[in-house]
């Protein structure tokens, strides 16, 4: 693919952009699900990430791209790059944003025995799959609702445990595979199973912009980009750099951000009011609010942050109520309005109906 469209040049879709940024700051929020209308730049936003994220340090030559700070990478198989007593050499590489193509088979996803090496050198060695390639980065699945069930189950399992275990062809390999799972799709083409939705930390609902100015701007920027990608990317470089610096700064700040008890309590109240299942909603809400505070260079999380991330953190965890026709975004908004009546509506997600 040619140079990706710059993330900062995406018109509108603030909630989607925010969710992606939050996941970039704190991969622990647990993945992003982007559902919505066709042609709203869902995959553009994710593919743009590749150009946006600051490079990461890896052990030079390590096939799993492991962190020089961590003691080892794959278990059961020594890290070839670190053999010997010498200290691991580190290099900078771009953060992987791996596209999981539809129709991928299990062996290519989890990895398998390297046939070429086995044949030519008689060595039994593991050929890492897409999961290994996505380690410490992002794994993107377009049309996640069309992915075969057994693959989805597998991905979710690995994403949750951060560990890929391969047992086949006499191989027994365990290697870390910590990645942010990003899925996108269109609900008209089949919905995602609810327990699957729940496994994504944030869920974003994207809509086609309905105002003329935005639509014109979308078309203009795309036209400018397609006519001369290099020049377009160069024009947006300063914005991209600024966003990148914001991510880096927020990551550094993340651990120091304080979550006051009062905010924790409000988060719990909100989740109770909405009847979200389990604690995952509450945890995600807090983590996302903290990442947002870090992005905004705030020392502590306040109610404003909580409100801003409430929709993406909770809307996919609501129980379906057949007698309530309103969609889940509206229900989250209603709960917010009930709990915090004095505050105005959250400002993010202007594209929402």
Please state, in angstroms and as integers, the Cα–Cα distance from residue 253 to each residue in 246, 296, 300, 307, following that order. 10, 10, 10, 21
Give the 3-state secondary structure of residue 85: coil
Element (H, E) at 163: strand 163-168
* Closest of 312, 276, 320, 269 to residue 34, by C-alpha: 312
* Closest of 293, 284, 227, 232 to residue 260, by C-alpha: 293
Region of 193-201, 261-269, 286-294, 336-344 interacting with other proteins (CB under 8 A): 193-201
d(CA 81, CA 179) in angstroms, rounded, equals: 21
Region of 192-200, 237-245, 246-254, 256-264 interacting with other proteins (CB under 8 A): 192-200
* Closest of 320, 312, 313 to residue 351, by C-alpha: 312
What residues act catalytically? 280
Q: Does 246 bind other proteins (CB under 8 A)?
A: no
d(CA 215, CA 80) in angstroms, rounded, equals: 52
Q: Does 101 bind other proteins (CB under 8 A)?
A: yes
Q: Does 325 bind other proteins (CB under 8 A)?
A: yes
Tell me the site size for other proteins, rule CB under 8 A: 60
Q: Does 218 bind other proteins (CB under 8 A)?
A: yes
User: In the bound complex, what is the minimum distance in angstroms from residue 195's beta carbon to other proteins?
Assistant: 7
**C-beta of residue 16 within 8 angstroms of C-beta of residue 206:** yes
x-or-dash string of contact with other proteins, 16-45, rule CB under 8 A: ---------------------xxxxx-x--
Radius of gyration of the chain (CA): 21
Q: Does 105 bind other proteins (CB under 8 A)?
A: yes
The residue assigned the tokens 């992003």 is 32
Positions 140 through 179 that interact with other proteins (CB under 8 A): 142-143, 146, 148-150, 168-169
User: In the bound complex, what is the minimum distance in angstroms from residue 278's beta carbon to other proteins?
Assistant: 16
d(CA 63, CA 163) in angstroms, rounded, equals: 15
User: In the bound complex, what is the minimum distance in angstroms from residue 296's beta carbon to other proteins?
Assistant: 29
Residues at the contact surface with other proteins, assessed by CB under 8 A: 1, 37-41, 43, 99-109, 112, 115-116, 118-119, 129-130, 142-143, 146, 148-150, 168-169, 186-195, 208-210, 212, 215-216, 218-220, 222-223, 226-227, 320, 322-323, 325
């Amino acid at each position: 693919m040619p140079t990706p469209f710059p993330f900062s040049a995406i018109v509108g879709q603030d909630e989607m952009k925010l969710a992606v940024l939050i996941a970039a700051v704190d991969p622990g929020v647990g993945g992003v699900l982007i559902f919505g209308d066709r042609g709203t730049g869902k995959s553009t936003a994710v593919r743009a990430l590749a150009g946006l994220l600051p490079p990461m340090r890896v052990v030079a030559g390590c096939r799993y791209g492991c962190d020089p700070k961590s003691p080892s990478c794959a278990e059961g198989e020594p890290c070839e790059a670190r053999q010997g007593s010498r200290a691991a050499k580190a290099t900078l590489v771009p953060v992987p944003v791996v596209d999981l193509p539809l129709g991928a088979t299990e062996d290519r996803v989890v990895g398998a025995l390297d046939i070429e090496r086995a044949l030519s050198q008689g060595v039994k060695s593991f050929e890492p799959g897409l999961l290994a390639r996505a380690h410490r980065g992002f794994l993107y699945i377009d049309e996640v609702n069309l992915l075969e069930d057994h693959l989805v189950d597998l991905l979710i399992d690995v994403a949750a445990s951060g560990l890929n275990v391969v047992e086949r062809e006499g191989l027994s390999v365990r290697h870390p595979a910590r990645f942010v799972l990003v899925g996108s799709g269109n609900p008209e083409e089949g919905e995602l199973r609810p327990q699957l939705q729940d496994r994504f930390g944030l869920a974003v609902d994207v809509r086609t912009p309905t105002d003329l100015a935005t639509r014109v701007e979308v078309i203009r920027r795309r036209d400018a980009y397609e006519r001369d990608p290099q020049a377009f990317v160069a024009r947006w470089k300063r914005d991209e750099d600024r966003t990148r610096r914001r991510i880096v700064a927020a990551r550094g700040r993340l651990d120091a951000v304080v979550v006051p008890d009062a905010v924790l309590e409000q988060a719990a109240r909100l989740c109770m009011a909405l009847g979200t299942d389990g604690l995952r909603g509450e945890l995600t809400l807090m983590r996302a609010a903290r990442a947002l505070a870090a992005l905004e260079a705030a020392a502590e999380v306040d109610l404003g942050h909580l409100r801003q991330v409430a929709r993406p953190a909770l809307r996919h965890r609501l129980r379906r109520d057949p007698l309530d026709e309103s969609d889940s975004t509206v229900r989250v908004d209603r709960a917010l309005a009930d709990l915090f009546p004095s505050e105005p509506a959250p400002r993010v997600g202007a594209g929402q109906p």
